[in-house]
Amino acid sequence: MYQTSLTKGQELVAERMVREFRRQGYDAFLITSIYEDWEPALPIEEVTARGGFLHLYDDRMRIPVIRVDSYQGTWPPRRIFFRNFIDVLKHIVEELKLNVLITHSTLWNGPEEVAKFMAWRRELIASGSIHEPMLFCHMSHFQEPSDERYPLEERSYREAWNKFSLARIVKDADMLLVTTPMEEEGMRKLGAKDEQTFLFPAGVDDILETYAAGSGIRDRYKLPGGAKLVTYLGTVEERKNALGLLGVAGKLSQNKGVHFVIAGRLEGEYGEKVKGEAKKYPNVTVIGQVSDEEKAQLIRESYVNISLSRAEALGIAQLEFMYGGIPVITSGTGGQSWIIRNGQTGVILNGPEDVEGAAKAVLELLNRPYYRNRLGKAAARSVSRYSLTRLIQTFSKLLIQEFAEDQEPASPLNVEPSEKVVEAWVKDNYRVVVTTERLTVVPLKKAKETASIPLREIKKIKFQVRALWSALWVGGAATVLFLVTQIVGWDWASMLVNWLYGVASAYGIELPASSLLTPSVDFLPLAISVVVFLSTAKRGYLVLSDPHRTAFVPESFIKALRLADKLAPDELFGNERLNN
């Protein structure tokens, strides 16, 4: 993920996935930039001094984080980019023995670079290099570029990125995680196959339940004790339309039984504007950023959650309130129209500008507590299957299944961690790998016959022709037998020719004169055996080692043998002459 965050949805999903994977017993790490909410989380010099990435444990997120050398780009806006990431990723994968990479978001270079890295790795494997199977998954949190949210220049760039870069990522990814069926359909338009997609609606962090028992949130932020809380939770930015909430509060300013709470990080000038405007409303409190503990307590204390957002891929905050049994009033934008069923688990308004409808919905829930409770219980039931624990359990099983079914099993190459692959080749149904320590020969059709021989144990390499010598013996013996039977009077060849004449005449087929056919039958076994011998003959070299191990290497791998001879401590070929 391109950064970490205290409040932003995509960033939180990535952090929580890592935490839940680890809770379920898997080694998982968050690879991200040096930034948290657009501010440096540590000095860039500290990262560059360590070779481009720094591995540390983050106490706030409670997960191991790998901060990568990065910078804030000028275009596209609101994006952070990794520097020299393919090389950095190569070292991270080797150091941590990673076998699954999950990229998040769009319009930045992380997913593109991972797709290139995986393509490179596949080419290495196809060329014979030694690598363990690895999966590439992508989670776009995709939304179609909207003319209501983006001006023409940025919107057209997003559309171009989706058609060019995202389409390639979709093609190369082993699995695509989608937050909603609408996003799944968007991925299909970009070329995704049905078996590629996995519905992953962000996930409710189960850890919130452990915090909910706390209290004191009202006293801490001086919230009126007797009022029902209508809560907004999320980043306070223009896209989220927090100013619209003030309009709703204004329409209910005379109702002393309701109080509006705006919780979340204040983003830039817009956030400060909301904070300033909120001071005009006695029934509104802006409490800003909250901790996980405070968030859980705020959800527990709330009467209803409200969101007038103009764009949402899904809406993690809404999932969290619903999970806690709190109904949601929403503009219904993006994925919110999927997770919330109007009149059953919440209220869907007529868009983000429906301030009047929002005020009426709040009043109805205040005046009909039984209806509000019914919506809350239904909401909790509907999202219970989207707990992060369940989603990760299902997803991890799919990953294991993907490894079992779709990945080529690793050959038993016995390469030590200290070894380095010098060169590798795949051709003629063989894989030959030369490392700094050994020569490995893998017959691809007979992987069980793999030979992995340390260079220091190779005693000799000698030229050899491999073929079915037994075919020559059998064919020669049959021909000799036919000739002997003629001498002793049995003449099996003539008997066979007479039988062939009888069969041919029955079908109206003319055969050559018996004087020509009989000698041909005599030497037919020998001729067949010669053809078999020549077709199976393989020119190559036999690698001999102690204790009495051998490996046959086809002649086409002469470069591999030359390299092994160069790296081995002893002269391996003796008087043998190398061709080519």
Among 158-167, 169-178, 284-293, 432-441, name the one with the lowest average pLDDT: 432-441
- Distance between alpha carbon 100 and the CA centroid of its chain, in Å? 6
> Residue 416: pLDDT band by 50, 70, 90 thresholds?
low
Q: Which has the higher per-residue pLDDT, 491 or 336?
A: 336
Q: What is the pLDDT of residue 519?
A: 59
What is the Rg, in whole angstroms, of the alpha carbon atoms belonging to the chain? 36
Other C-beta atoms closer than 10 Å to the C-beta of 131 total 14
Q: What is the pLDDT of residue 150?
A: 80
- The string of pLDDT tens digits covering residues 178-215 is 998 889 999 999 999 989 999 998 878 776 665 555 56
- The string of pLDDT tens digits covering residues 1-35 is 999 987 788 898 999 999 999 999 999 999 999 99
Residue type, 406: D
- What average pLDDT does range 550-571 have in this prediction? 84
Q: Give the orientation angle of helix 316-323 with respect to helix 292-301, to 10 degrees.
A: 60
Return the closest-CA partner of residue 305 out of 277, 281, 339: 339
Return the closest-CA partner of residue 441 out of 411, 473, 400, 476: 411
Reported pTM = 0.74
Q: What is the largest CA-CA distance in the chain?
A: 126
564 vs 539: CA distance, rounded Å: 19
Q: What is the pLDDT of residue 124?
A: 83
The answer to whether the CB of 64 falls within 8 A of the CB of 31 is no
Instruction: Report the share of the chain in percent with pLDDT over 90.
Output: 46
Q: What is the pLDDT of residue 410?
A: 45
Q: What is the pLDDT of residue 429?
A: 83
Q: What is the pLDDT of residue 210?
A: 54
- The string of pLDDT tens digits covering residues 98-117 is 999 999 999 999 999 999 99
Q: What is the pLDDT of residue 436?
A: 86
Domains assigned to the chain: 9-199 (3.40.50.2000), 208-385 (3.40.50.2000), 421-467+537-567 (2.30.29.30), 474-522 (no CATH)
Length of the chain: 580
247 vs 259: CA distance, rounded Å: 13
Q: Could you tell me the end-to-end alpha-carbon distance of the chain, in angstroms, rounded to an integer?
A: 50
* Residues whose CB falls within 8 Å of the CB of residue 139, separated by 6 or more in sequence, listed in order: 13, 102, 103, 104, 105, 176, 177, 178, 179, 200
Strand partners, 233: 263
Q: What is the pLDDT of residue 214?
A: 55
Q: What is the pLDDT of residue 577?
A: 47
* Residues whose CB falls within 8 Å of the CB of residue 527, separated by 6 or more in sequence, listed in order: 475
Q: What is the pLDDT of residue 395?
A: 93
Would you say residue 477 has pLDDT above 90? no
Q: What is the pLDDT of residue 417?
A: 60
> Residue 483: pLDDT band by 50, 70, 90 thresholds?
low
Average pLDDT, the chain: 84
Q: What is the pLDDT of residue 29?
A: 96
Among 158-167, 311-320, 339-348, 404-413, name the one with the lowest average pLDDT: 404-413
Q: What is the pLDDT of residue 580?
A: 47
Q: What is residue 257's DSSP assignment?
A: T
Other C-beta atoms closer than 10 Å to the C-beta of 503 total 10
Would you say residue 575 has pLDDT above 60? no
> Residue 520: pLDDT band by 50, 70, 90 thresholds?
low
- What average pLDDT does range 377-394 have in this prediction? 90
Q: What is the pLDDT of residue 209?
A: 62
